Structure 1
Amino acid sequence: MSAQELRDKTPDQLRDELTALKKEAFNLRFQQATGQIENTARMRQVRRDAARVKTILNEKAAAAAAEA
Protein backbone atom coordinates (compact mmCIF):
# COMPACT_ATOMS: atom_id res chain seq x y z
CA MET A 1 0.00 0.00 0.00
CA SER A 2 1.56 3.28 -1.07
CA ALA A 3 1.48 6.53 0.86
CA GLN A 4 -0.13 8.28 -2.09
CA GLU A 5 -3.08 5.87 -2.02
CA LEU A 6 -3.49 6.58 1.68
CA ARG A 7 -3.35 10.34 1.23
CA ASP A 8 -6.34 10.11 -1.12
CA LYS A 9 -8.49 8.53 1.60
CA THR A 10 -10.53 10.34 4.23
CA PRO A 11 -9.55 10.18 7.91
CA ASP A 12 -12.49 7.85 8.62
CA GLN A 13 -11.34 5.47 5.91
CA LEU A 14 -7.81 5.61 7.32
CA ARG A 15 -9.06 4.74 10.80
CA ASP A 16 -10.97 1.78 9.37
CA GLU A 17 -7.84 0.69 7.52
CA LEU A 18 -5.79 0.98 10.72
CA THR A 19 -8.31 -1.13 12.61
CA ALA A 20 -8.17 -3.81 9.93
CA LEU A 21 -4.36 -3.80 9.98
CA LYS A 22 -4.28 -4.13 13.77
CA LYS A 23 -6.65 -7.10 13.60
CA GLU A 24 -4.50 -8.71 10.93
CA ALA A 25 -1.36 -8.12 13.00
CA PHE A 26 -3.02 -9.77 15.99
CA ASN A 27 -4.03 -12.77 13.90
CA LEU A 28 -0.52 -13.07 12.49
CA ARG A 29 1.01 -12.95 15.97
CA PHE A 30 -1.41 -15.64 17.07
CA GLN A 31 -0.48 -17.79 14.07
CA GLN A 32 3.21 -17.33 14.81
CA ALA A 33 2.76 -18.34 18.44
CA THR A 34 0.97 -21.53 17.42
CA GLY A 35 3.41 -22.29 14.60
CA GLN A 36 0.83 -21.97 11.83
CA ILE A 37 2.14 -18.87 10.07
CA GLU A 38 2.98 -19.41 6.41
CA ASN A 39 4.24 -16.00 5.26
CA THR A 40 6.40 -14.49 7.98
CA ALA A 41 7.22 -11.47 5.81
CA ARG A 42 3.56 -10.43 5.99
CA MET A 43 4.06 -9.45 9.65
CA ARG A 44 6.62 -6.85 8.64
CA GLN A 45 4.39 -5.55 5.84
CA VAL A 46 1.40 -5.16 8.15
CA ARG A 47 3.46 -3.41 10.82
CA ARG A 48 4.88 -0.95 8.30
CA ASP A 49 1.48 -0.35 6.67
CA ALA A 50 0.00 0.45 10.09
CA ALA A 51 2.82 2.91 10.77
CA ARG A 52 2.26 4.47 7.35
CA VAL A 53 -1.46 4.92 8.07
CA LYS A 54 -0.70 6.50 11.45
CA THR A 55 1.76 8.90 9.82
CA ILE A 56 -0.78 10.01 7.22
CA LEU A 57 -3.43 10.46 9.93
CA ASN A 58 -1.05 12.65 11.93
CA GLU A 59 -0.20 14.68 8.83
CA LYS A 60 -3.90 15.26 8.12
CA ALA A 61 -4.54 16.23 11.75
CA ALA A 62 -1.64 18.68 11.73
CA ALA A 63 -2.85 20.22 8.47
CA ALA A 64 -6.35 20.61 9.88
CA ALA A 65 -4.98 22.22 13.03
CA ALA A 66 -2.84 24.62 11.01
CA GLU A 67 -5.86 25.74 8.99
CA ALA A 68 -7.91 26.43 12.11
Structure 2
Amino acid sequence: MKANELRTKSQDELQKELMDLLRAQFSLRMQLGTQQTNKTHELRKVRRDIARVRTIMHESKLKAGN
Protein backbone atom coordinates (compact mmCIF):
# COMPACT_ATOMS: atom_id res chain seq x y z
CA MET A 1 0.00 0.00 0.00
CA LYS A 2 1.40 3.36 -1.01
CA ALA A 3 1.03 6.62 0.87
CA ASN A 4 -0.20 8.36 -2.29
CA GLU A 5 -3.09 5.91 -2.53
CA LEU A 6 -4.01 6.58 1.08
CA ARG A 7 -3.96 10.35 0.66
CA THR A 8 -6.77 10.13 -1.89
CA LYS A 9 -9.08 8.32 0.53
CA SER A 10 -11.57 9.98 2.84
CA GLN A 11 -11.33 9.87 6.63
CA ASP A 12 -14.01 7.16 6.80
CA GLU A 13 -12.20 5.01 4.26
CA LEU A 14 -8.96 5.42 6.19
CA GLN A 15 -10.69 4.39 9.41
CA LYS A 16 -12.08 1.27 7.70
CA GLU A 17 -8.65 0.45 6.28
CA LEU A 18 -7.12 0.83 9.75
CA MET A 19 -9.67 -1.55 11.28
CA ASP A 20 -9.01 -4.12 8.55
CA LEU A 21 -5.27 -3.89 9.12
CA LEU A 22 -5.65 -4.23 12.90
CA ARG A 23 -7.77 -7.36 12.41
CA ALA A 24 -5.15 -8.77 10.04
CA GLN A 25 -2.43 -8.03 12.57
CA PHE A 26 -4.34 -9.80 15.31
CA SER A 27 -4.95 -12.79 13.08
CA LEU A 28 -1.28 -13.03 12.13
CA ARG A 29 -0.22 -12.77 15.77
CA MET A 30 -2.55 -15.61 16.69
CA GLN A 31 -1.28 -17.75 13.80
CA LEU A 32 2.31 -17.15 14.86
CA GLY A 33 1.46 -17.91 18.47
CA THR A 34 -0.11 -21.24 17.57
CA GLN A 35 2.63 -21.96 15.01
CA GLN A 36 0.19 -22.21 12.10
CA THR A 37 2.26 -20.01 9.80
CA ASN A 38 5.85 -19.23 8.90
CA LYS A 39 5.08 -15.87 7.31
CA THR A 40 6.77 -13.64 9.86
CA HIS A 41 7.41 -11.03 7.16
CA GLU A 42 3.66 -10.47 6.77
CA LEU A 43 3.42 -9.16 10.34
CA ARG A 44 6.09 -6.56 9.59
CA LYS A 45 4.27 -5.41 6.43
CA VAL A 46 0.96 -5.06 8.27
CA ARG A 47 2.59 -3.16 11.13
CA ARG A 48 4.12 -0.68 8.69
CA ASP A 49 0.83 -0.28 6.81
CA ILE A 50 -0.91 0.51 10.12
CA ALA A 51 1.69 3.18 10.84
CA ARG A 52 1.27 4.57 7.32
CA VAL A 53 -2.51 4.85 7.69
CA ARG A 54 -2.24 6.48 11.11
CA THR A 55 0.29 8.99 9.78
CA ILE A 56 -1.96 9.98 6.87
CA MET A 57 -4.93 10.31 9.23
CA HIS A 58 -2.90 12.59 11.49
CA GLU A 59 -1.71 14.68 8.54
CA SER A 60 -5.25 15.19 7.31
CA LYS A 61 -6.37 16.27 10.80
CA LEU A 62 -3.59 18.82 10.92
CA LYS A 63 -4.53 20.17 7.48
CA ALA A 64 -8.16 20.47 8.55
CA GLY A 65 -7.11 22.39 11.64
CA ASN A 66 -5.30 25.10 9.64
Q: Which residue pairs with 1:51 in the alignment?
A: 51
Q: 1:16-55, aligned counterparts within 5 Å?
A: 16-55=16-55
Root-mean-square deviation over aligned CA pairs: 0.6
- Matched-pair identity in %: 45
Q: Which runs of 5+ in 2 are unaligned?
A: none
Q: Which runs of 5+ in 1 are unaligned?
A: none
Q: Which amino acid aligns with 1:25?
A: Q
TM superposition score normalised by structure 1? 0.94
Deviation >2 Å, runs of 4+: none
